[in-house]
Amino acid sequence: AQSVTQLDSHVSVSEGTPVLLRCNYSSSYSPSLFWYVQHPNKGLQLLLKYTSAATLVKGINGFEAEFKKSETSFHLTKPSAHMSDAAEYFCVVSVEAGANNLFFGTGTRLTVIP
């Protein structure tokens, strides 16, 4: 069975400080892992993905995530938060290439304080 747990439903950071959004997964197979961002009243945008290549994955807008198999984690980080980063972030796992079985986490709402 596969599942995704986002440990924080809400994270609040000050502008210019680091961002950490936590994600743990459970999978019987080698997973592909994704982070999506959803800005208010907008669709989902793919931030980055892990597909069994490099464990440190760089995405758009300065975000990156590190796949740690021993910890079954795929935390999203950014060195310095911008106001425009305020959004909902979803950690997603897929266990079969070419399949539609994406499993979404419950989401983490990021607030950036000026």
Name the minimum Å distance from CB 9 to other proteins: 9
Between 64 and 103, CB nearer to other proteins: 103
User: Within 32-71, which residues bind other proteins (CB under 8 A)?
Assistant: 32, 34, 36, 41-46, 49, 51-53
Helix (H, G, I), strand (E, B) or coil at 79: coil
The dihedral through the CA atoms of 24, 107, 39, 99 has a sign that is positive
- Does position 99 interact with other proteins (CB under 8 A)? The reply is yes
Sign of torsion, CA 2 11 14 61? positive
Within 13 Å of residue 41, how many CA atoms lie on the same side as its CB?
Answer: 0
List contacts with other proteins (CB under 8 A): 32, 34, 36, 41-46, 49, 51-53, 90, 94, 97-100, 102, 104-107
